[in-house]
Every structure is written in structure tokens, then in C-alpha cells.
Amino acid sequence: MSSHYGHLQQIKYKLIIIVTMLECKTVTLRTRPLKHGMLSFYLDYYPGYRDQETMKTIRHEGLNIYIYANPKNERERNFNATMSEKAEAIRCRRFESIVNDRYDFFDRHKLKADFLEYYRKQLRKHDQKWEFVYHHFYNFVHGKCTFEEIDIDLCNKFREYLLNAKQLRRDDRISKNSASGYWSTFRGLLKILYRNRLIKTNINDFLDKIETEDTPKDYLSVEELYKLAETPCKKPILKTAALFSCLTSLRISDILSLQWHEIVDFAAGGKCVHTITQKTKTEDIIPISDEALQLIGYSPEKTGFVFKGLKRSWTQHPMKEWIREAGITKNITFHSYRRTYATLQGAAGTCIKAIFASSKLSKDQPSKYTTTQSLSFSSSSFKILRILDLPHPQSPYSPIVIGKFFSFVTTSFNNDAWTK
């Protein structure tokens, strides 16, 4: 009975191989001639397979293994035999990998692969926070880690490491809120690993998040915004990005990824940013004033990144140094500019629902609010605008921009075109 069962299993395995071959997953070892009487081994995939990272169809793979075309002595023949065995071993491994992927066998060779090398390749697809987390994890595992080692115990130890880790470039400990953000980013990577069958277990199901702490939500007052606009910054593009965020409420991740082609015509007139936010991966339509466009030197002919060369790391020491030189003692982060936008809009009499809606618009149907619900300035709002309209001729970043921007948004929301 057992021998009969074993025979059936052998037949089943052979059928798997045959079906795989019929479904054009053959891997053939071939050679191509080179100069100086040498041959180069390569693998021929018929009719090819799709690389899951690049999504390109792969037909051939060079092995960088060479043999003599016409061996002249025993040494060269032995060399050919050794190199041929290595090439055949690689061919078998590639074919085994194809069978594993198709029939859900877990590939043991993937488990032995370098996790840090894979992680490093993912960095170009994500924002700079991923790079910070990579360096912290690299330090945690001392530069060595395979996929096989990624388990619940290792991840929990990394969680504890983040709660006590020092900043990458300074001796200060990272804040609990930073640790929480880094941990969330790392857990996002674990989801990708499980989805791509690079780890066996959905580890996230067994990991606790790091709770954030409530911190004072600082923002810039009108007077402080004046000071900041008047103060030189060692990184001019950082200054431009900060003021642009105050005018648009864009996050640092969206500032870094913003490209010129994402600035498009707006249904209510003027221009707007039409983008997919990096944090929520949702569509955002944000109106931009002419003054804000002038601040960044907008031109429809420009291509590429708007804030080319800007680095997330500059929002730490370089930005804080600029803020100190402006005489501002508040704990201002880049996210504070987003709060500054909302706070100054509120001080100008803007309806809180409309403030929220101003960054959640449809390009063709700007708002769900009617004119009776739309933005309107109170008498106190005009006082703010008069302050902002004071001329500052010596400043290339005149705060008049801010006042005109508020007027722009208010006018847009009061326009009949905004009525649904």
C-alpha cells in the first residue's frame, strides 16, 4: 500500500514538472561565443517570466561564468567541467524557484537571501523616512540579516531598540513619537514582505504598535511668520518650501515629491496642486495663489521636482537653526507650517469645514459648500489682512503673499462656481 502511495506521489511530482514545462517555464543552459576562444554561459527562459520588482519580462540571464571553447589540455578541461557544474546548479536552482512560485512551495533559497540588500533597493520607491528606518535597523542587526531571521522575536526586539535609540546624526534620543512613526514604517515593510511571499508569517498580527504622546501643537503667529520670512536661511530652498507649506498646507512628504506637472488649471480659476498624497495615498486638489506660484518661480515649461535638492533631514538642524535666528522659541516642526495655514485661516474668519475642504477638493467640482456656507471674512479678518498687506520691499518673501493668498481662497469659495 505504501509503495503504491509513493508511486502515485512520484507521478504527481512528474506531472507538476510536465505542466510547468508545458506552461513555458523551461530554463535552458546555453552558451554564446566570446573573443579569445571563450564561451559565456547564460540561461534561456522560454517564453520568459515577469520580474516582480521591475515588472519586466526576462528572457535571458547572464551568469558571468566562462569556459574554454576548445580546451587544449587537462587543466582547461577540468576547469570547463567545474564551471559547467556551477552553471548547471544555478539552472536547477532557477527552475526550482519557478516551480515553488507556481505551486506555493516556499523557496528556501529566498529565506537565505540578504534582507538588508532587498530593503536598500526599496528605499528609492519611498520617502526619506524609510531611509532613516533602514539605517536604524542596519545598526540594530549590525549590518547582517537574512529573510529567515525576520520573525516575531527579532521584530519585538527592534521595537524596544527604537524606544531607546539615539538619533542617527546626534547623541540625543529619538522621541517616542518619532519611534512610533519609524515602527509604523517598518511594519509597513513587513506587510510587503508577507504579500510578496518573502516571509512565511504575517508577523504584523503579533506586534503591538508604539503609542504616540500628546505634545504641544505649536504654530506660527502672523508676527512670527513675518520674522521667519525676513530671516535668511542657509538652505534657501528649505525657506521657500517652508513658506510654500504655510500657503498651501502641504506636508513635507508631499513637498518633497511635488513635481511641476502636478500644478494644473483649477476649475474656479487660477492653478491648483493635483497630487496623490504620500501619507494617505488619496487624491488632493489644493488651490494655489499667483503669489505662491511666484514664490516657487512657476513656469509651465518646467519639468521634474519643484523642490529639487531639498532633503527631509534639513527639517531638523538646518531648519531649527533658521527658526532660532528668527528669534522664535517655539518648538516648530515642518508640520507646524500646516497648522499655521489652518490657524491663520481660522483667525481670518474662515469656516473650519471649509478649511478642511480646501485640501480635499475635486478639480472639476471645487466644493460641496454653497455660498451661504462658504468662506467669508469677519471684521477682525480684515485687521489681519491689513497687517499682512503692509509693504516689506526688502524681503523677497514678503508676507503680503499670505494676505493675498487668504483673499484668493476666500474669493474662490464665495464664487458661484463653487456652488454645487
Segments making up each domain of the chain, as ranges: 21-103, 115-206, 222-418
pLDDT digits (tens, 9 = 90+) for 320-376: 999 999 999 998 989 899 888 887 777 666 665 555 555 443 334 343 332 222 232
Instruction: Please tell me the total number of residues recorded for the chain in this structure.
Output: 420
Cα of 156 vs its chain's centroid, Å: 24
Does residue 323 sit in helix, strand or coil? helix
Q: What is the 3-state secondary structure (H, E, C) of 207-240?
A: CCCCCCCCCCCCCCCHHHHHHHHHCCCCCHHHHH
Q: What is the pLDDT of residue 53?
A: 61
Give phi and psi for 59, each to the nearest 5: -105, -35
CATH number for 222-418: choose from 3.40.50.9100, 3.20.20.60, 1.10.443.10, 3.20.20.80. 1.10.443.10
pTM higher than 0.75 for the full model? no
Helix (H) or strand (E) holding 365, with range, is: none
Model confidence pLDDT, tens digit, residues 195-253? 887 888 889 989 999 998 887 778 888 888 888 988 999 999 999 999 999 888 898 98
Q: Which helix (H) or strand (E) holds 65?
A: strand 57-68
Using only C-alpha atoms, the chain has a radius of gyration, in whole angstroms, of 30
Q: Is 148 helix (H, G, I), strand (E, B) or coil?
A: helix
Residue identified by cell 503673499 is 401
In 110-142, which positions are buried (b, 16+ CB within 10 angstroms) versus exposed (e)? bbeeebeebbeeeeeebbbbbbbbbebbeebbe
pLDDT band at 158 (very low <50, low <70, confident <90, very high): very high
Is residue 416 over pLDDT 70? no
Per-residue model confidence (pLDDT) at position 159 = 96
pLDDT category at 14 given cuts 50, 70, 90 is: very low
pLDDT tens string 47-65: 776 666 666 778 888 999 9
State residue 189's pLDDT score: 93
Per-residue pLDDT band at 309 (split at 50, 70, 90):
very high
Q: What is the pLDDT at residue 95?
A: 81
Q: Which amino acid is at 318?
A: P
Confidence at residue 51, expressed as pLDDT on a 0 to 100 scale: 66
